[in-house]
Structure 1
Amino acid sequence: MSSTTTKFTLHEDWTVVILGSIIILLAIVGIIILAPTFNWSSPADFSSKVFTASNLSSIGFQFVLVLVISGLGALLTGKPLKHFLIVFPVVYFITLIALLLAGNSQIKDLNLEAVIFSLALGLTIGNLFKLPDWFRATLATELYVKIGLVLLGTSIIFSDILKAGSLGLLQALIVVLSVWYFAFWLCRKLKIDDEMTMMISSAVSICGVSAAIATSGAIKGDPKKLSTVISMVLITAIPMMIFMPYIAHYFNFPQEVTGAWLGGSIDTTGAVVASGTLVGETALKISTIVKFSQNVLLGIAAFAISIYWTYSKNPLAKDKDTKPTLGIIWERFPKFVLGFVGASLLFSFVLSPEVTAGAKNSLKSIQGLWFALAFTSIGLETRFSDLFNKDTKKPLYAFLIAQGFNVIITLIIAFLLFG
């Protein structure tokens, strides 16, 4: 008699919750990895700031941490460990170059984030060289982004949002609902497929890349479509974060209005902070609070989308009158959102301010690294021929029109609430 053993695997979302929890637990108990610096303005700074023994030690410890966590993720999700040990160091090395490029003082003055360089380098290498299929299959883009999202929850502190008053939350709610519905209606009018419609609507209205990832997880979306939407978000975020502050300055908008406008319009949190800094301290504070308020809605939106998608796309229904069970809804619900919400609740209501302050910088740095690794992976697995072709023209038009609507309606709401 021959016996076969079934290899144990875990769903990626539950894997993310476990891995994110491990990182947070390490920070809480005091195992803090100092955030390395990549800031430099001249070649001489490499030896005096970046390539010092202490900074290289921090970089090395971060590498070991993400290597072990990613390796554990590969094991739990059933990916070949031997392939992972080849692919991950390559992805990390490319990401390290991106972090160094973004750390240049002149680049910082342009408010360009590391993820932009991660994506650009990944796209360049992925399109100049023919990567083996096994290499692309080993890339763990969603795993990296979802871990970053769980860690993002540690920075969503409800008391900070409430201190700014209810106006930020009110604006976030109005903007998300109005922009989401407009984008959804527009995509339907342009006959864009349902998966792309849901991802575009969420990305434009809530918080860009994070919302696109959460929505993709809720509807089990096509990774290629997700990469296309993420690229749209990043491409539009760059000019918006550069030109919107200057538009506000030219028309002499109040800082409160400008901050609310930036926080509600620009899709990535880092870009919001960068653009708010160009305007002033008040604008920076308001823009950050508004953006965080939208981030809070991420978990609620993902839950609502998963229920809607399950009911509208019920695979077990033979007719439209058949409703999915709670079990099906739970099966399709993106479990990593539980990690995001749990981290936010833990750092908002359970841990002491001393503990959160001690873990904050380390977690923020690791969170940024996970996102950068994810965007490097997105670039490596994306072909330009797949990114913008005849099949993506309508989605791109829809995204741009919806983004224009977002900019206008958010400015109007910002004036009504903060003017």
Structure 2
Amino acid sequence: MGEPQKNIFTEDWVVVILGLGIVFLALLGVVIPKPSFSWQSASTLLDTTLATENLYRISQQFLLVFAVAIVGAFLLRKPIKPLLVVFPIVFIITVIALLFAGSEAIKTLNLEAVIFSLGIGLAISNLFSLPEWFKAALSTELYVKIGLVLLGTTVIFSDVLKAGSLGLIQALAVVLSVWYFSFWLCKKLKIDQEMAMMLSSAVSICGVSAAIATSGAIKGDPKKLSYVISLVLITAIPMMVCMPYLASWMGLSQEVTGAWLGGSIDTTGAVVASGSLVGEEALKISTIVKFSQNVLLGIAAFAISIYWTYTKSKSAEHAEKPTLKVIWERFPKFVIGFIFASILFSFFVPPAKIEAVKESLKSLQGLWFALAFTSIGLETNFKELFVHTNRKPMYAFLVAQFFNIIITLVIALILFR
């Protein structure tokens, strides 16, 4: 028998193809209306969320993401038969998580859908023994990177610049100072460089998205990435709830509070939720600052991939020399999809067309992220997240997050007072 055929495309290039494929389908008119998962009581759940029209929208989304997942498996030469069983199960679990998050009672707690996706997945994987073929069919990184490409459609440079250069200045100052401090702290605690990279990016840039982008840039260990993501989600909840009240107690203006929240809280959804608790101006400023940090995501991933290539070339005896070819080979190609989508929607797509497709693409972006977090939960042993060897990264993350809160407040007071 001959040797197995080599993949024509790497996973990152497949992500670019699939993510931009979804974008261009929407621009060409294949727009799936956003389904609603909001409900107040059992009656409204049946009458609205589980109504025929809404179920039809959910089924349309399912057919699209299912088809994309199958095409992805085909391009990567992965077995398709297990995917035909596993993906619908992952989708059903994800929809259940979205329904939980859509409850008005849950919304008052400002809990995001990805928390329920991760939680349900973890519960299943730790209460039941899932077969290896099931876990092998999960494509966590593929799903989350497609979501990152779609995230690029929401990063509109003109909106960020129009809203204020102060947000960009703060984002740059926070990212540089917090990243360097976090990386220095990890080095002092003798945490391995791979974990230090992902942890520092998660704390300083934009949480989960930055951790995943960094993992892609350095070809990181999925278990370490899962651990960092868990830390981000666990700390985001108390910060999201407590910081608005702390800002009120300190007598901070809405502008300063918004800048503080946007620069400190790691996930975009949590920033929006916490900003909403303060007021309209705080919500606006917090969103600007967070979007400004999102803009830096592609630049940061590129810089990290170059740094990682040079570092490895010096530390390893037989490592490849950091030529332009090696740097290009190691560069996370999905970042190209993110930047391309952002430039496309920032400068080339008419505002009317953006208005027509943004809700659909935003909903699909959230769905891909939720599918990824369900997959993370299903392939993660919860006990592994808190073993003795993982305590130092947890301590480093908490200290770095505290530093992030303090330095961001100082910068916000200087720029927005």
Using the size of structure 1 for normalisation, the TM-score is: 0.97
Residue aligning to 1:297: 296
Counterparts of 1:70 and 1:3 in 2: how far apart (Å)?
A: 28
Residue of structure 1 in register with 2:236 after alignment: 237
Contact 1:316/1:324 (8 A) holds in 2: no
Residue identity matched to 1:327:
K
Q: What residue identity is the alignment partner of 1:349?
A: F
2:406 is equivalent to residue 408 of structure 1: yes
How far residue 92 of structure 1 moved from its aligned partner, in angstroms, is: 0.6
Distance in 2 of aligned mates of 1:399 and 1:8: 37
What is aligned with 1:40? 39
Aligned to 2:392: 394
Given that 1:317 and 1:324 are in contact with CA atoms closer than 8 Å, whether structure 2 keeps it comes out as no
Most deviating of 323-332 and 94-103: 323-332
Deviation at 1:318, TM superposition (A): 3.6
C-alpha distance in structure 2 between counterparts of 1:314 and 1:99, whole Å: 45
Note the C-alpha offset of 1:48: 1.1
Alignment-mate amino acid for residue 18 of structure 1? I
Q: Indicate whether 1:125 and 2:131 are aligned.
A: no
Deviation at 1:251, TM superposition (A): 1.6
Letter of the structure 2 residue corresponding to residue 103 of structure 1: G
Question: Are residues 316 and 205 of structure 1, via their aligned partners in 2, closer, same or farther at CA, if it must alter by over 3 Å?
Answer: closer
Offset of residue 319 of structure 1 = 7.6
Specify whether residues 45 and 323 from structure 1 end up closer, same or farther in structure 2 by C-alpha distance, changes over 3 A only. same
Q: Measure how far apart 1:250 and its partner are.
A: 1.5
Once the two structures are superposed, what CA deviation does each residue of 1:245-297 show, in whole Å capped at 9, x if it has no partner? Answer: 11111122100000000000000000000000000000000000000000000
SS at match of 1:405: helix
Match of 1:31 in 2: 30
2:402 & 2:177 partners in 1: Cα distance? 13
Query: Deviation at 1:314?
Result: 2.3
Give the drift of 1:384: 1.5
What's the TM-score once normalised by structure 2's chain length?
A: 0.98
Q: Is the 8 A contact 1:203 1:211 kept in 2?
A: yes
Matched position secondary structure for 1:33: coil
Specify the SS of the correspondent of 1:313: helix
Q: CA deviation at 1:148?
A: 0.3
- Provide the C-alpha distance between the structure 2 equivalents of 1:122 and 1:178, rounded to a whole number of angstroms: 35
Distance apart, 1:140 and its partner CA = 0.6
Pairwise CA distance, 1:317:
6.1
Gaps of 5+ in 2: none
Give yes or no for contact 1:306–1:333 (8 Å, CA) kept in 2: yes
Deviation, 1:133, is: 1.2
Deviation of 1:386 after TM superposition, in Å, equals 1.3
Q: How far apart in 2 are the matches of 1:130 and 1:323?
A: 44
**Which residue does the alignment assign to 1:333?**
331
Residue 112 of structure 1 aligns to a residue whose secondary structure is: coil
Aligned to 2:416: 418
- Distance in structure 1 (CA, Å) of the matches to 2:142 and 2:2: 33
In structure 1, C-alpha distance between the alignment counterparts of 2:263 and 2:366, rounded to whole Å:
21
Alignment check: 8 A CA contact 1:19 1:73 kept: yes
Aligned partner of 1:373 in structure 2 is 371
Q: CA shift at 1:9, angstroms?
A: 4.4
Q: 1 CA distance for matches of 2:2 and 2:158? A: 56
Deviation at 1:164, TM superposition (A): 1.5
SS at match of 1:34: coil
AA of the residue aligned to 1:176: V
- Looking at structure 1, the residues matched to 15 and 244 of structure 2 have their Cα atoms a distance apart, in angstroms, of 36
Note the alpha carbon deviations across 1:303-333, whole angstroms, 9 max, x for none. 000000000012896489x841111100100
Contact 1:9 1:75 in 2 (8 A): no
Aligned to 2:152: 153
Give me the whole-angstrom Cα distance separating, in 1, the residues matched to 2:210 and 2:182: 14
Report the secondary structure of 2:39's partner residue.
coil
* Corresponding position: 1:274 with 2:273: yes
SS where residue 40 of structure 2 aligns?
coil
- Matched residue, 1:363: 361
Q: Which AA in structure 1 matches 2:288? A: I
CA distance in 2, matches of 1:98, 1:164: 34
* Correspondence for 1:342: 340
SS class of match (1:40)? coil
Shift of 1:181: 0.2
Distance of 1:323 and 1:92 partners within structure 2: 43
Task: Provide the rounded CA distance (Å) in 2 between the counterparts of 1:310 and 1:231.
Answer: 27
Letter in 2 for 1:271: A
Higher mean C-alpha displacement, 44-53 vs 402-411: 44-53
For the aligned residue pairs, the C-alpha RMSD in angstroms reads: 1.4
Counterpart in 1 of 2:53?
Answer: 54
Structure 2 distance, partners of 1:381, 1:260, is: 36
Rounded to whole Å, the distance in 2 between the matches of 1:247 and 1:377 is: 35
Q: Which consecutive residues of structure 1, in runs of 5 or more, have no partner in the other structure?
A: none
Residues 312/27 of structure 1: CA separation in 2 closer, same or farther (3 Å cut): same
Task: Tell me the amino acid that sits aligned with residue 383 of structure 1.
Answer: N
Q: In structure 1, what is the equivalent of residue 10 of structure 2?
A: 11
Question: What is the alpha-carbon distance in structure 1 between the residues aligned to residue 22 and residue 411 of structure 2?
Answer: 39
Deviations 1:172-199 (A, max 9, x none): 0000000000000000000000100000
Q: Does the 8 Å CA contact 1:176/1:206 hold for their aligned counterparts?
A: yes
Percent identical pairs in the alignment equals 68
Instruction: Give me the whole-angstrom Cα distance separating, in 2, the residues matched to 1:319 and 1:119.
Output: 40
Summarize the Cα distance change of 1:396–1:31 in structure 2 as closer, same or farther, 3 Å threshold: same
CA displacement at 1:78 relative to structure 2: 2.0
Q: Distance in 1 between matches of 2:78 and 2:314?
A: 27
Aligned partner of residue 130 in structure 1, secondary structure: coil
Counterpart among 351, 354, 360 of residue 352 in structure 2: 354
Written as runs of structure 1 = structure 2, the 5 A alignment for 1:41-190 is: 41-190=40-189
* CA distance, structure 1, for counterparts of residue 15 and residue 391 of structure 2: 33
Letter in 2 for 1:90: I
Supply the AA of the counterpart residue of 1:395: P
Q: State the distance in 2 between where 1:263 and 1:8 align.
A: 41
Q: Secondary structure at the match of 2:313?
A: coil
Higher mean C-alpha deviation, range 378-387 or range 168-177: 378-387
Aligned residue pairs total 417
Change (3 A) 1:83 1:245: same
> 1:369 & 1:80 partners in 2: Cα distance?
23
SS of the residue aligned with 1:185?
Answer: helix
